[in-house]
């Protein structure tokens, strides 16, 4: 695929899978006979819960490439994460997250080529990082909505700069301007 | 500099498979109607999109966008050609 620097990240193994460790909160009032209301912020409890849209995927191998259309900046990441928190909760709590895609396949729409020339073809530049690097930096990749979409959490306001550092410098998208349609359900 | 019709993160998608954002992120919400062709994204990464629908949400009105393929400049060039021949 030509001069694409991030392509070197593509081979992957299953030896060190990435675990998305965000789990539903345990039940409350286990030691009390009197039932208590669940611990949910009333300010956000009317929002849809992202947990309902988490796919039952196997763990993401560490060397799978995570792709995000760019260029990103700290204010942009903060804004996008705040938009997610405005729209969703995760297990009843505000969820600050940003959308990314994982190049899970070697060919097809969920491959790196498929993403760059499909869903991300309107991006002149993209950020590429190994899934293992994302997780080692304290973030979690939640497989949400349609494969291979992921929600990267937590991107609370104080962590946007950390995420920007993890994403690294943007690289040219060699398939920018492709006129294939983004596959839709 | 490009001014978008509606700010959005074009990486997003939801259960519909479409990109989404909120209506109040449009400088002029009156142009954001189902079927409208709009420029979405941000000044660094704008894209042409079709407004799919507007959906009530507890925190506002959610907008679904169908991102059209191709670079924005290709659409601008097309518009210029059409203007020259009109």
Which neighbouring-strand residues pair with B47? B40
What CATH number has the domain bearing residue B67?
2.40.240
Question: What pTM, to 2 d.p., does this model score?
Answer: 0.82
Whole-number Cα distances in Å, A155 to A8, A20, B72? 27, 15, 30
User: Would residue B53 count as lying in a domain?
Assistant: yes
User: Would residue B27 count as lying in a domain?
Assistant: yes
* Residue B24 structural domain: 6-85
Q: Low-confidence residues of chain A, pLDDT below 50?
A: 1-42
What is the per-residue burial (b if ≥16 Cβ within 10 Å, else e) of A56-87?
A: ebebbbbbbbbbbbbbbeeebbbbbbbbbbbb
Contacts of A181 in chain B (CB under 8 A): 69
CA pair distance A39, A29, nearest whole angstrom: 10
CA pair distance A96, A50, nearest whole angstrom: 11
- The region, left, alpha or beta by phi > 0 then psi within -120 to 50, assigned to residue A133 is alpha
Nearest chain B residue (CA) to A72: B44
| Residue B40 and residue B8 in contact, taking contact as beta carbons nearer than 8 Å | yes
Of the candidates A69, A86, A176, the beta carbon closest to that of B11 is on A69
Query: DSSP strand E in chain B: where?
Result: 6-7, 19-22, 37-41, 47-57, 60-67
User: Would residue B1 count as lying in a domain?
Assistant: no
For an interface test with A, which of B8, B12, B61, B73 has the most A Cβ atoms less than 10 Å from its Cβ?
B12
User: Would residue B76 count as lying in a domain?
Assistant: yes
How many distinct structural domains can be found in chain B? Answer: 1
Interval B8-57: pLDDT, tens:
999 999 999 999 999 999 999 999 999 999 999 999 999 999 999 999 99
Chains A & B: contacts with CB separation below 8 Å = 86
Interval A42-51: pLDDT, tens:
455 699 999 9
Predicted local distance difference test score (pLDDT) of residue A27 = 38
Would the CB atoms of A120 and B11 count as touching at under 8 Å? yes
CA B73 to the chain's CA centroid = 15
Residues in chain A, overall count: 185
């Amino acid at each position: 695929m030509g001069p694409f620097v991030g392509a070197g990240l593509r081979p992957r193994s299953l030896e060190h899978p990435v675990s998305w460790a965000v789990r539903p909160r345990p039940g409350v009032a286990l030691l009390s006979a009197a039932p208590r209301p669940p611990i949910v912020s009333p300010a956000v409890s009317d929002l849809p819960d992202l947990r309902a849209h988490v796919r039952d995927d196997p763990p993401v191998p560490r060397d799978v490439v995570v792709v995000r259309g760019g260029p990103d900046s700290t204010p942009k990441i903060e804004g996008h994460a705040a938009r997610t928190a405005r729209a969703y909760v995760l297990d009843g709590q505000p969820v600050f997250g940003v959308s990314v895609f994982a190049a899970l396949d070697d060919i097809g729409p969920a491959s790196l080529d498929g993403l760059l020339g499909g869903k991300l073809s309107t991006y002149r530049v993209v950020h590429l990082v190994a899934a293992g690097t994302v997780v080692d930096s304290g973030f979690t990749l939640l497989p949400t909505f349609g494969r291979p979409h992921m929600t990267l959490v937590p991107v609370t306001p104080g962590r946007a700069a950390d995420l920007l550092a993890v994403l690294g410098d943007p690289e040219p998208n060699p398939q920018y301007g492709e006129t294939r349609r983004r596959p839709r359900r | 500099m490009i001014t978008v019709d509606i700010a959005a993160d074009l990486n997003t998608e939801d259960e519909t498979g479409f990109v989404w954002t909120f209506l109040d992120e449009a400088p002029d919400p009156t142009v954001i109607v189902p079927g409208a062709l709009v420029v979405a994204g941000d000044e660094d990464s704008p894209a042409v999109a079709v407004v799919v629908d507007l959906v009530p949400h507890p925190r506002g009105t959610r907008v679904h966008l169908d991102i059209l393929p191709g670079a924005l400049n290709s659409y601008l060039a097309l518009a210029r050609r059409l203007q020259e021949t009109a």
